[in-house]
Amino acid sequence: MDVLSDVVTVTRTGRPRSAQVRWHAPWAQEFSSVPGSAGFQAVLQGSCWLLPADAEPVHLATGDVVFLPHGKGHTLADSPQTPVTTPACGPDDPQPYDAYASDSVDRSKDGGPATVLLCGAYQLDPSRAHPLLLSLPDLIHLPAHPGRRAELDSAVKLLAAELETPKPGTDAAVPALLDTLLLYILRTWFDQRPPTGGHTTGWAAALNDPPVTAALHAIHHDPAAPWTVAKLAAEAGLSRAPFAKRFTRLVGQPPLTYLTWWRMTTAARLLRTSNAPLRSIATQVGYTSEYAFAHTFKRTHGTPPGTYRQKT
């Protein structure tokens, strides 16, 4: 597994939801803040404005994609001046995130200019949040332009087609497409950060740094391997001291600290999703001693692995 794939696998929980929604001007819909969730909006037709609660309005045109990784409240409207006249949409409301359903919302009697949006929401587990997701800003805007990843546009079109005209297999296709779309959103964001943002630290820089990426891939591909700083440095093609300094600066943790965190995160997932005995799980994450594994797990998660499994 690579880092981005693992981020989605570990952090997301439950079934993602999506809908295709048509609005007619004038319209304005407020979305409540939903901690522990992430959402996206893709403009399929027309244009609109995204109005964050604590930032400047963002104009969205056809083909634009926005991602809100921390579930911050916001408003979508045909114009920044259009007043919100409907109740805020919260996590328990079916619209506009009614699972796998194409929906139509008409806010005017005369049928003004139409905006068609592809909406989606992911339920996340804050206790398992990868630092990569935690490092993201509250709002990511990916404007449509010729140089943008074609895969992102293709995923949006495929998901929109499944929602607009459900067919046999749609219930299986939609969750897979939502995960794929999330991966492409993250890829596109991290690809464009160094040239446009000038980042020299953080996950944006780490995923665009070949030596650090090589070490991260090694950890995620085989977390049970007896990794040392020297062995990870060899994977990165650097000597030990420069590698450790570089990894810590970009990732925000020393190599072995990140390794332990990832091992315990992987162990927590295995405890939730399998009936494997503790000794087997300990071996899968690199511990020959069940006692040492249990001690480290409790230090990381605040509870012994057996108790953790019972509670989840």
Dump pLDDT digits (tens) for 131-156. 888 888 999 999 988 777 789 999 99
Residue 96's pLDDT band (boundaries 50, 70, 90)? Answer: very low
Residue pointed to by tokens 């953080």: 202
pLDDT given at position 240: 97
pLDDT at 102: 41
> What pLDDT is attached to residue 194?
52
Confidence of residue 208 (pLDDT cuts 50, 70, 90): confident
CA distances from 210 to 207, 219, 235 (A): 7, 14, 10
- Does residue 222 fall inside a structural domain? yes
Positive or negative, the CA dihedral 51, 56, 57, 61 is negative
Please check whether residues 175 and 294 belong to one and the same domain. Answer: no
From residue 50, alpha-carbon distances to 139, 171, 189, 269 in Å are 10, 29, 18, 36
Q: How confident is the model at residue 106 (pLDDT cuts 50, 70, 90)?
A: very low
- What pLDDT, on a 0 to 100 scale, did the predictor assign at position 90? 60
Instruction: Assess if residue 255 is contained within a domain.
Output: yes
Question: 52, 48, 76, 78: which is closest to 62 by C-alpha?
Answer: 48
Q: State which of 160-174, 177-191, 288-302 shows the largest mean pLDDT.
A: 288-302
Residue after which a domain boundary falls, among 149, 174, 197: 197
pLDDT at 126 over 70: yes
**Pair 172, 268 in one domain:** no
- Average pLDDT over the chain reads 86
Q: Other CB atoms closer than 10 Å to residue 53's CB: what's the count?
A: 12
Q: What is the pTM of this model?
A: 0.82
pLDDT at residue 100, as a whole number? 37
Q: Which residues, including other chains, have CB under 8 Å from residue 221's CB and lie 6 or more apart? A: 1, 2
**How many whole angstroms separate alpha carbon 299 and alpha carbon 264?**
10
Statement to judge: residues 18 and 149 lie in one domain: yes
Residues 124 and 28 in one domain: yes
CATH number of the domain to which 91 belongs:
2.60.120.280
User: 97: pLDDT confidence band, cut at 50, 70 and 90?
Assistant: very low
163: nearest Cα among 271, 6, 310, 18: 18
Distance CA 85, CA 65 (A): 25
**Residues 190 and 216 both lie in one domain:** no
Give the pLDDT confidence score for residue 263 in this predicted structure: 95
**213 shares its domain with 253:** yes
Q: What is the number of structural domains in the chain? A: 2
Domain span holding position 243: 209-311
